[in-house]
């Protein structure tokens, strides 16, 4: 079977190779074997290949934080999963044609779910949900500001906020996505810039913004912090700029704004396994209902991983790059 290995840390398209490896074999007691149908290339996967992600395993290593799979075989002691069932894998190393994992790490999802969307279920929808849930007790009518609003997480934040009656100021770096984000339910879309806080204040009519969500980091984080109201909270959850988050003393000390961080693994670890499953069942339904949808830029076969990685690192895309390790989705 085919698997993606990185043999060094560096430019993803240079260090990632599609290699032939032995099959995973049959499932043992409590194990499940599934075929990987699709996986996205997320910013964290790119960082993993570069060696700048929080996990830096010894090499060779297989990337891949998420995927959707179809169960090929279930071992003894596995209840509720049968060949043909769709699953998402809560563990990593998913850039491969086939996985053998512990049954408890395989979360079943409804049959009939759009497979490409299901491949992107594990990380970004849950991240958006927990960003809105875990830091500020928000009530309908409250304002939230976020950057990278055009990202998959950003779009899910817009949709989930809308469903809760929250209002969003969405910060982007290009104007051509404004209409699309408005159609998703964005109340305000602003292009980032030095006067962001002033324009955000005008857009909300002076109503305080209670939560700021930042995944650009660096000076962009400072602008988000300057945009939230006194006593507001800024959550840093990514760094598309590669910089560390900045915050001004006036926001921090004078206005009582606080800066905190978010990581999905930590967010899920605070919840029971039953609650985590409940979250994913709910998010899967929201995908099925069309409430949550991440646009897709392109599909690649696993052999073309280098081209897929080059495309995934190009800005201005309209969606995710997905890899199909076992051929076209059906």
Ligand X SMILES: NC(=O)c1ccc[n+]([C@@H]2O[C@H](COP(=O)([O-])OP(=O)(O)OC[C@H]3O[C@@H](n4cnc5c(N)ncnc54)[C@H](OP(=O)(O)O)[C@@H]3O)[C@@H](O)[C@H]2O)c1
- Contact residues toward ligand X (CB under 6 A) are 42-44, 123-124, 127, 148, 150-153, 173-174, 215-216, 237-238, 240-241, 262-264, 315-316, 320
What's the first-to-final CA gap in the chain, in angstroms?
20
Diameter of the chain by CA atoms? Answer: 62
Closer to ligand X by CB, 97 or 178: give it.
178
Nearer to ligand X, 232 or 238 (CB): 238
When CB distances to ligand X are compared, the closest residue is 238
Residues 6+ apart with CB under 8 A from 43: 238, 240
**302 token code pair:** 């696993």
Rounded least distance, CB 99 to ligand X, Å: 21
Q: What six digits make up the tokens of 112?
A: 């009939």
Backbone Cα Rg of the chain: 20
Nearer to ligand X, 129 or 150 (CB): 150
CB of 176 to ligand X, least distance (A): 9
Is 34 within 8 Å of 130 (Cβ atoms)? no
Are 37 and 69 contacting, i.e. CB atoms less than 8 angstroms apart?
Answer: yes
Residue (74 or 312) nearer to ligand X, CB: 312
Q: Least Å distance between CB 33 and ligand X?
A: 27
Q: How far is the CB of 98 from ligand X (least distance, A)?
A: 25
CA distance 239 to 251: 20
Residue 18 or 181 having the CB closest to ligand X: 181
CB of 17 to ligand X, least distance (A): 23
Closest CA to 158 of 190, 122, 194, 184: 184
- Judged on CB neighbours under 10 Å (0-12, 13-18, 19+), 160 is buried
Among residues 64 and 103, whose Cβ is nearest to ligand X? 64
φ/ψ of residue 61, rounded to 5: -135, 150
Helix (H) or strand (E) holding 184: helix 178-184
Q: Quick count: other Cβ atoms within 10 Å of Cβ 243?
A: 13
For residues 135 and 162, the answer to whether their CB atoms sit within 8 Å is no
- Residue 21 CB, shortest distance to ligand X, in Å, is 27
Q: What's the half-sphere exposure (Cβ side, CA atoms, 13 Å) at 275? A: 7
Cβ distance to ligand X smaller for residue 173 or 201: 173
Smallest gap, in angstroms, from Cβ of residue 189 to ligand X?
A: 12
**44/224 with CB nearer ligand X:** 44
CB of 218 to ligand X, least distance (A): 9
């Amino acid at each position: 079977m085919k698997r993606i290995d990185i043999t060094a840390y560096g430019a993803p398209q240079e260090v990632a190779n599609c290699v032939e490896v032995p099959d995973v074999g049959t499932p043992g007691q409590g194990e499940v074997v599934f075929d990987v149908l699709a996986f996205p290339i997320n910013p964290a996967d790119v960082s993993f290949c570069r060696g700048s992600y929080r996990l830096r395993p010894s090499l060779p290593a297989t990337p891949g934080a998420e995927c959707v799979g179809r169960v090929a075989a279930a071992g003894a002691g596995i209840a509720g999963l049968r060949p043909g069932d769709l699953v998402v894998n809560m563990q990593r190393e998913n850039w491969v044609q086939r996985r053998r994992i512990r049954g408890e790490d395989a979360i079943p999802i409804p049959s009939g779910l759009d497979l490409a969307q299901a491949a992107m279920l594990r990380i970004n929808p849950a991240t958006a949900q927990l960003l809105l849930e875990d830091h500020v007790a928000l009530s309908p009518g409250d304002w939230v500001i976020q950057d990278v609003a055009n990202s998959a997480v950003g779009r899910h934040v817009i949709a989930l906020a809308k469903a809760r009656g929250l209002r969003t100021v969405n910060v982007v770096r290009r104007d051509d996505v404004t209409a699309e984000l408005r159609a998703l339910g964005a109340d305000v879309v602003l292009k980032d810039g030095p006067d962001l806080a002033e324009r955000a204040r005008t857009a909300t009519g002076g109503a305080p913004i209670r939560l700021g969500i930042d995944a650009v980091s660096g000076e962009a984080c400072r602008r988000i912090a300057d945009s939230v109201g006194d006593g507001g909270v800024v959550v840093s959850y990514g760094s598309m700029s590669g910089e560390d988050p900045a915050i001004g003393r006036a926001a921090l000390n004078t206005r009582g704004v606080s800066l905190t961080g978010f990581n999905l693994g930590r967010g899920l670890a605070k919840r029971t396994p039953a609650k985590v499953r409940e979250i994913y069942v709910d998010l899967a339904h929201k995908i099925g209902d069309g409430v949550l949808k991440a646009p897709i830029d392109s599909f690649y076969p696993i052999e073309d991983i280098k081209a897929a990685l080059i495309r995934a690192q190009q800005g201005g895309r309209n969606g995710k790059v997905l890899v199909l390790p076992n051929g076209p989705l059906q």
